[in-house]
Chain A
Amino acid sequence: MSETFVAEHALEYPGGYTRSVGPVIGRFLTGLRDGRIEGVRARDGRVIVPPTEYDPVTSDEIGGDDGDWVDVGPAGRVVTWSWVANPRVGKHPLDRPFAFALIRLDGADTALLHAVDCGSPDGIVTGARVAPRWRAERVGKITDIECFTVLADGEQPVAATPRHVAADGAGDADGTDEGAVTSMNSAFRLEYRIPAGAATRRYLNGLAEGRIVGGRAPSSTEVYAASRGTDPKTGEPTSIEVEISDAGCVTTYCVVNIPGLSELAPEIPYVSAQILLDGADNMMFGLIRGCPVEDVHMGMRVKAKWADELKPDHRSILHWEPTGEPDAPYEHYKDNL
């Protein structure tokens, strides 16, 4: 298998998701921005840090009254921990080996997960006293605490410095220097390595030669264009390779008047169509160009416009253009609408 056919794929919402945090989590994050840590008192009297919006036992609302809130920490004790020997830069909270620890802050009854910067596994024990190392530029996120550090006997925690907002406003999570934190940005990225699979390899190799290759299952006469690895009706592999024409007809379409739907989108207006290729039994999507959008119609004969340089890539077909042949009769494509 050529390396070309394994894709590095990432799922990532551009700019990150919004998270409206609601009043309870918002108050906790506002506290962090101001350099203090607040917990919320549950119905059974326990102090929960970080706070939850609802009581973990009764599901009642908590944190609605000032009386429910308790200042905790900033120091606390390690409840348990795990050593991260090989941190990944940009993904872990620190760029050097550290401990992930559950930390019960003074005055709290639950533990908070955070990083402890202690050099080596010898620098931390369960029960160790730790305290936060605050960032100067705080935005209302849990990472306003850079990490925790281990306190020596009798050492006192260092209070947060007054908040500093960067000149470019980068230290300002919600766009308002004053007031409670109401939202945060949640970056989210999942990375995958995706192998193409046999049918797609067959199809892509065909494109590199200017051919459209499909397949059919041994028990069926129906030919699937492009990269269908199985016959959806029988579940069988489309193991028999079938060459399909690069010409066919428009079965149905729409005219797109919305700009910027995709990096591959041409200037509006343009036509996005379903196309039934000669020799295939399923439709493909494609853009119709080379004629005014008003001239596109159901049954219109079209042909692939190939790129000058062919590659094993779907972009080898740039779009589809009218051939000028007489229209396909409705009978020919009506069962694929």
Chain B
Amino acid sequence: MGGQLAAVVGVGQTKHRSSRKDVSMAGLVREAAQEALADAGMTWSDIDAVVIGKAPDMFEGIAMPELYLADALGAVGKPMMRVHTAGSVGGSTAIVATKLVTSGVHRRVLTVSYEKQSESNATWGLSVPMPFQAPLVAGAGGFFAPLIRAYMHRSGAPRHIGHLVAVKDRRAALRNPKAHLHIPDIDLKMVEESFMLWDPIRYLDTCPSSDGAMALVIGNEEVADASEGPVAWVHGMAMRSEPTMFAKRDQVNPLAGRACAKDLYTQAGVTNPREDFDCAEVYVPFSWFEPMWLENLGFCAEGDGWKLTEAGATAPDGDIPWNPSGGVLSSNPIGASGMVRFGEVAQQVRHRAGDYQVEMKTGRALGHAYGGGSQFFSMWVVGSDKPTS
């Protein structure tokens, strides 16, 4: 990884819920930011710059969150910017913030992302008709369900694989007090009997709509070394994008995702992700995206992702736990969801994940986010120790 060293020195997030009518958007982001500052042992005045992210403007009708939220985030008189890459934005926001540190520009950067889905309707926000264009008359799931069908056809995966992920991640969420969904009696039967929304996607194969915020404090090497608590060192970070549609596009296993992972692994010296990571937090908004991303991220050969899921390899007690926090399937404040992935792996390598802490062997973990029509990717690797390469 180029530039100076950087580490996550503070993490904060809200308890995710379907609705937070008791606070404004400012109040919501503030909760996460204050928890991250307290975790870092800092106050507002310690922060050099603020980087904020949220998903598309039509979701809440806030076109300039960086303007509205400057005072709530202690950014008065400091550099503040907004990052915007659809559903992957939480990840790319964390990366932009971290690059302000690795570049040597700032020593301590606060980065925050959020969504307050209850103020609007994301399905509407994602499907605003455009003039002259035939609309996709099927909603957001109607975009992704055909890709899942194509994956099933390509790989020969049996129909219950997605349901296994839906159960696994909801069971994991029971150990995470901040997860939105807590379904104590979740099991395969419940998922199989849930309503078929977009065949092959059933209701319990989908993520919830959440209000929530996530915040990280990124420090440079000097700040991280002086930190009283454990920190999560950044070992690599990468972003890639591609058009929603082009001739002979691999929509199931997008090139941008593969290229992003390759770049990331080169930076971090990762040769076998299944062995080199202790866990991963990966953006899985529809259950079937676990096996699809297992392949896209090189955890197995193409076509074999579902076999890892079926064998329990990605369960909290498997050899490579995916989404031990419960993942996007259990909490989805869209703009924050990518940063939640990035922050949850930081907590794991800091041994701060509480009841959903996984066993640390290599001390490294992968955080991942994607967005748009499987076209924006952002990823990072964090570790308990300073990177050696």
Task: Give the B-binding residues of A (Cβ under 8 A).
Answer: 5, 7, 9, 11, 13-14, 17-23, 25, 52-59, 182-183, 186, 188, 194, 196, 200, 204, 222-224, 226-227, 231-233, 251-258, 261-262, 264-265, 269, 272-274, 281-287, 298, 314-315, 317, 334-337
Contact = CB atoms under 8 A, between A and B. Distances in A.
B252 A257 contact: no
Contact of B198 (A11, A54, A255): A255
Interface of B: 20-27, 30, 44, 58, 60-61, 71-74, 76, 116, 118-121, 123-125, 127-139, 141-142, 145-150, 153-154, 195-201, 243, 245-252
Contacts of B148: 254
A282 B247 CA distance: 4
Most chain B CB atoms below 10 A, which of A254, A286, A317: A254
B71 A59 contact: yes
A18 B125 CA distance: 14
A314 B132 CA distance: 6
A59 B248 contact: no
Given A194-B130, A254-B146, A285-B136, 8 more contacts: A5-B132, A17-B120, A53-B30, A56-B71, A224-B247, A233-B247, A253-B146, A253-B149
Chain A, interface SS category: mixed
Given A182-B21, A254-B200, A9 B76 contact: no
A314 B134 CA distance: 6
Nearest to B76: A56
Contacts of B73: 59
Contacts of B58: 11, 13
A254 B138 contact: yes
A53 B146 CA distance: 45
B127 A232 contact: no
Nearest to B26: A53
Contacts of A284: 134
Most chain A CB atoms below 10 A, which of B23, B73, B248: B248
Contacts, number: 183
A274 B246 CA distance: 13
B249 A54 contact: no
B21 A20 contact: yes
A27 B136 CA distance: 43
B120 A20 contact: no
A18 B120 contact: yes
A5 B250 CA distance: 33
Contacts of B22: 20, 22-23, 182
Contact of A55 (B71, B118, B120, B129): B71
A143 to B, nearest CB: 18
Nearest to B134: A314
* 9 closest residue pairs by CB, A with B: A7-B131, A254-B145, A22-B24, A281-B247, A272-B138, A255-B199, A59-B74, A232-B246, A314-B134
Contacts of A233: 246-247
A53 B247 contact: no
Contacts of B201: 254
Most chain A CB atoms below 10 A, which of B153, B200, B250: B153
Contacts of A252: 146-147, 149-150, 153
Contacts of A186: 61
B248 A335 contact: yes
Contacts of B251: 336-337
A156 B313 CA distance: 77
Given A7-B131, A22-B23, A222-B247, A298 B120 contact: no
B124 A196 contact: no
Nearest to B202: A257
